[in-house]
Structure 1
Amino acid sequence: MPLTDAPAPPDPYWNHNVHYHRLVLDAVPDGCARALDAGCGDGLLVRKLARRIGEVTGVDRSAAMLRLARESSSGTPNATFLAADFMAEGALPGGYDLVTAVAVIHHTEFATATRRLTGLLAPGGRLVVVGLAANKTPWDWLVSGAGLPAARRQARRHGGKSGPPGMPVMDSVMTWGEVRRAARTCLPGSRYRRHLLWRYSLVWAKPRG
C-alpha cells in the first residue's frame, strides 16, 4: 500500500536512468519497510520510494549531491541521506528489505559490488540493479540505440533538463555478455533483462535460510 494517495509529482528532469525508475518501483517487494538506495545522487529515486516505503535511506559519497538531496527532500520526512561509501564495511547497518543501485555498479568491480550490496539485505530482501554495459557487436549498438528517437522526445518534454550538474559519469568496461555471465555467478537465480538506452536490470532475492 502506498504511504500517500496524492498524485506523484512530475520528474524535474529526464535521462536514461530516470526512465527506468518505474522498473525499480515495480520491483518493490510486498511488506517492504526499509530500503536503501546506493549512490542516490540528488535523491530523486529515494523520494519516489518514500511514497510507498516507511523508511528510505540514500547514501552517496558526493557532498554536493547529498546537499541537493536534502534540500529537495525537505518535505519527505521518511527519507534520510548519509554521506558514506556503500562499499566500506560497517558504513551502513544493513538489514534492508530492498537495496537499489541505479547506474552505480559499473563505477566499481562487479563481483565486489554485488557482494557488498547483497550483504546489506535482510533475509528475503530484494536487490534491484539498473546498470550500464559496453557495446561490442553491431547488434549491441542496434539494441542500445533503438530507443533514441523516443528518448529525444522525452528530453524535449522536460525542456532538455537531464539532471543536476556534478553527477559523476563513467562508461562501463563490461560488455553485455560479461554482465550476464557475472550475474549468473554472483547472483544465482537473478532475473537479468537487457533494455534499450544502454541499460540492463537485475532483480535478485536473498534466500531466507
Structure 2
Amino acid sequence: MEEYWNHNAHYHPLVLDALPPGCATALDIGCGEGLLARRLAQRVPSVTGVDLSGEMIARARATGPSSLTFARADFRDPAHEALPAGGFDFVSAVAVVHHVDFSEAVEALDRLLAPGGRLVIIGLARNRTPLDWLLSAAAVPAARLRARRHGGETVPPGMPVQTPTMTWSTVRHTAHRLLPGSRFRRHLLWRYSLTWSKPAV
C-alpha cells in the first residue's frame, strides 16, 4: 500500500509545504504504516516515525525505505531513545492529538522540537454550533468528489478511531494560549491545521 487517499492524506501536502528551510531532522507522530514519513523522507535527510501500534510499525518498516527510522513509542514518553528532547527540526502529528489530552500532547510536542523548529498538527474537533454543523455538511459533497478522483478513500486496516471531545473554538483558544504565535486554520474536510514555529532562543 504505497500511495492512497483519505481525509488525513489529503492534508499531507499542507504538512510538506510547512517544512522549514534547511530542515535536517523530522519526526512524524502517529505515523501509521508510514505514508507521510515516506513523503517527508523525499525532502528531509533524517526522518523518524513513531506509533503506538506494533502492527503499524511493522507495516511501515516493510514499506521502507531503509533510510527511515520507525519505532513503537508513545510520543509523550520523555525516556524513549527515539524521542530525544529538542531532537527534531520539524514535528508533524496528523489525526493524533484528539486521542490524548490536548495540553499534555502540546507540551510533549514542544519538548521534542528543536529551538527554531516547526510544528504542524492536523487535527479533528467536535461540532457544537449550528455553523459547525453547516460547515461539516458542506464538506460531504466535496469529500465524495475528491474520493472519486483518487479512486476511493482508503483507510489502512488497524488504524485507531477516536471521537474528538474538544470543540473547534476550544482547540483554537487553547492552542493560542499554549503556543503563542501559532496559526490555527479550519479546513473543509473535517480537519484543522495548527502551525507553530518555536522561538530560536
Normalising TM by the smaller chain, what interval? over 0.9
What is the aligned counterpart of 1:175 among 164, 167, 171? 167
Q: Deviation per CA, 1:7-55: give whole Å up to 9, x if none.
A: xxx9732111011111100000000000000110010000000000000
> 1:145: Cα distance to partner?
3.1
Q: Deviation per CA, 1:100-121: give whole Å up to 9, x if none.
A: 0000000001111000001001
Residues of 2 paired with 1:32 and 1:26: CA distance?
Answer: 12
Post-superposition, which runs of at least 4 consecutive aligned residues in structure 1 deviate over 4 A?
A: none
Mapped contact 1:97–1:121 kept (Cα < 8 A):
yes
Map of 1:81 onto structure 2: 70
Map of 2:55 onto structure 1: 64
Give the count of matched residue pairs: 198
What is the aligned counterpart of 2:194 among 197, 202, 205? 202
Q: In structure 1, the residue corresponding to 2:161 is in which secondary structure?
A: coil
2:56 aligned with 1:44: no
Map of 2:84 onto structure 1: 93
Question: Which structure 1 residue ranges, 5 or more long, are not aligned?
Answer: 1-9
Question: Alignment RMSD, CA only?
Answer: 1.4
Residues of 2 paired with 1:149 and 1:102: CA distance?
Answer: 23
| TM-score after normalising by structure 2 | 0.94
Between 154-163 and 115-124, the greater mean CA deviation after superposition: 154-163
Mapped contact 2:31–2:51 kept (Cα < 8 A):
yes
Between 41-50 and 148-157, the greater mean CA deviation after superposition: 148-157
> 1:164: Cα distance to partner?
1.3
Mapped contact 2:139–2:190 kept (Cα < 8 A):
no
| TM-score after normalising by structure 1 | 0.90
Question: Which structure 2 residue ranges, 5 or more long, are not aligned?
Answer: none
Map of 1:7 onto structure 2: none
2:112 aligned with 1:120: yes
Q: In structure 2, the residue corresponding to 1:185 is in which secondary structure?
A: helix
Mapped contact 1:146–1:197 kept (Cα < 8 A):
no
